[in-house]
Amino acid sequence: MLRFLVRRVLQAIPTLLILSILVFAWLRSLPGGPAAALLGDKATPEKIASLNHVLGLDQPIILQYFKFLGRAVTGDFGNSLVSAQPVMGEIGTFLPATIELGLSAMIIAIVVGVPFGYLAARYRGGVPDNIIIVLTLVGVAVPVFFLGYTMQDLLAAPLGLPSQGRQAAGIDATSITNFAILDGIMTGEWDAVWDAIKHLILPAFALATIPLAVITRITRASVLDVFNEDFLRTANSKGLTQSVIRRRHVLRNALLPVVTTIGLQTGALLGGAVLTERVFNFRGLGFLLAEGIERRDYPRLQALLLFGALVYVLVNMLVDISYGIIDPRVRVR
């Protein structure tokens, strides 16, 4: 296992290096640029040129890249042009919100998606199956921002749920880890915990729709595959109870593709989080990224995109490891 891990970590380095080149080149190929965005309405071509000079953005791109790389390997990604704060510090401040939101969305997607998928497979062709298929299609097809706005407009006020933000303004909550719920639990500030949960409900459901639909469909397909396997017939003929068959044989075998999907969807959540966090003003990494793109905040975008890539690599590693746990055959290989 250790060798496997070391190999995966070493594989990640060139991946990240290539990505850093792509990200760097992409950002610099965008029209506009940070100086124009920074200077806003009052920007004149002369001011933009001068600021580009001060920022070193008029130097050859190769030189700019190596300077960036030199600083990046020491963990210095510079300061955000929007907030004037070190971008690594910003990631530390805003990451907990995204984890809180992503985790909640993923829990909703798994807790609802796996049983629904199973249910659909179990009643294949029946009413529950048809309803679930239609719902999952809608779930995948509706854009997150549309769903978010609709939820804000139709659900927030009637349900008394906050439509934006992570905590009510001015709430006197102690911040230790930046995880609002965890901090509230640690300090016993139950009002703050409840407030944070209320703020999570709408964005988490909005963000959960796509992974929920995907997980439901994959579970359904995977369970149907297993239903057709010979070993189920064997299990049945051995006289095992249905619950043992479901747990040991159907679910265990059906879960492998589901876990892969969950892994991939966790990575994809970062993309969905950009829109969800923006719509709900939920200040996480997605929010930072959206603001960074609007303002052409190179230092922030470079750090965030590479951080996102790192998360993808790590999630994929975790998926590989979990394969081994679920299916011993993978471990042997």
Partner 1 sequence: MQQLRLTRTRRAALIGLAGVLAVSLTACAESKRDEAGGGGTGGTMVFGDTGNPKMFDPVFNDDGETFRITRQMLDTLIQNKQGTAELEPSLATKWESSNDGKTWTFTLKQGVKFSDGTEFNADAVCFNFNRWYNMKGAAAQSQMIYYGDVFEGFAKNEGDAGGDPVFKSCEAKDPATAVVNLNKAKGAFPAAFTLPSFAMQSPTALKQYDADKVTQSGDSFAYSDYAYKHVTGTGPFKFDNWDQGKGEITLVRNDSSTEPAKLDKLIFKVIPDENARKQALKAGDIQGYDFPAPSDYGLLRNEGEQVLIRPSFNVLYLGINQSGNPKLKDVRVRQALAYGINREQFVKSKLAEGSEVATEFVPKAISGYTDDVTKYPYDPAKAKQLLAEAGASNLTLKFYYPTEVTRPYMPNPADTFTSISEDLKNIGITIQPVAEPWNGGYKDDVQKFGKQDLHLLGWTGDYNDAGNFVGTFFGREKKEFGFNNPELFNALAAADGSPAGDAHAKAYQGVNKQIMDYLPAIPIAYPTPAIVVGPKIKGVVASPLTDERFNNVTIG
**List 14, 60, 75, 158, residue binding partner 1 (CB under 8 A):** 158
Nearer to partner 1, 6 or 49 (CB): 49
SS3 166: coil
Helix, strand, coil % in the chain, rounded to nearest 5: 80, 0, 20
Contact mark string toward partner 1, 244..273, x via CB under 8 A? ------------------------------
The angle, 0 to 180 degrees and rounded to 10, between the axes of the packed helices 87-122 and 190-227 is 50
Residues in 5-34 at the binding interface with partner 1, rule: CB under 8 A: 30-34
Please check whether residue 162 is in contact with residue 168, taking contact to mean a CB–CB distance below 8 angstroms. Answer: yes
**List 217, 220, 249, 296, residue binding partner 1 (CB under 8 A):** 296
Nearest approach in angstroms of CB 60 to partner 1 is: 14
Nearer to partner 1, 162 or 267 (CB): 162
Q: Classify the C-alpha dihedral 213-216-218-224 as positive or negative.
A: negative
Nearest approach in angstroms of CB 198 to partner 1 is: 7
Residues in 194-233 at the binding interface with partner 1, rule: CB under 8 A: 198, 201
Nearest approach in angstroms of CB 247 to partner 1 is: 13
Residues in 97-136 at the binding interface with partner 1, rule: CB under 8 A: 97, 115, 119
Stretch that binds partner 1, among 3-11, 152-160, 264-272, 310-318 (CB under 8 A): 152-160
**List 2, 14, 42, 73, residue binding partner 1 (CB under 8 A):** 42
Contact mark string toward partner 1, 59..88, x via CB under 8 A? -----x--xx--x----xxxxxxxxxxx--
* Burial class of residue 63 in the structure, from the number of CB atoms within 10 Å of its CB (0-12 exposed, 13-18 middle, 19+ buried): exposed
Q: d(Cα 40, Cα 43) in Å, to the nearest integer? A: 6
Nearest approach in angstroms of CB 227 to partner 1 is: 15
Stretch that binds partner 1, among 157-165, 206-214, 216-224, 324-332 (CB under 8 A): 157-165
Nearest approach in angstroms of CB 307 to partner 1 is: 16
User: In this structure, what are the phi and psi dihedrals at residue 44, rounded to the nearest 5 degrees?
Assistant: -110, 160
Nearest approach in angstroms of CB 39 to partner 1 is: 7
307 near partner 1, rule: CB under 8 A: no
Closest by CA to 78, choosing from 65, 69, 87, is: 87
Beta bridge partner(s), residue 86: 79
Nearest approach in angstroms of CB 276 to partner 1 is: 11
242 near partner 1, rule: CB under 8 A: yes
139 near partner 1, rule: CB under 8 A: no
**List 132, 193, 265, 298, residue binding partner 1 (CB under 8 A):** 298
Q: Classify the C-alpha dihedral 292-152-108-138 as positive or negative.
A: negative
Residue 236 CA to its chain's centroid (Å): 40
Measured between alpha carbons, how far is residue 35 from residues 46, 51, 54, 78, 332 in Å? 11, 6, 10, 16, 55
- DSSP for 24-92 reads HHHHHHSSS-HHHHHHGGG--HHHHHHHHHHHTTTS-HHHHHHHHHHHHTTT---B-TTT-SBHHHHHH
What is the DSSP code (8-state) at residue 319? H
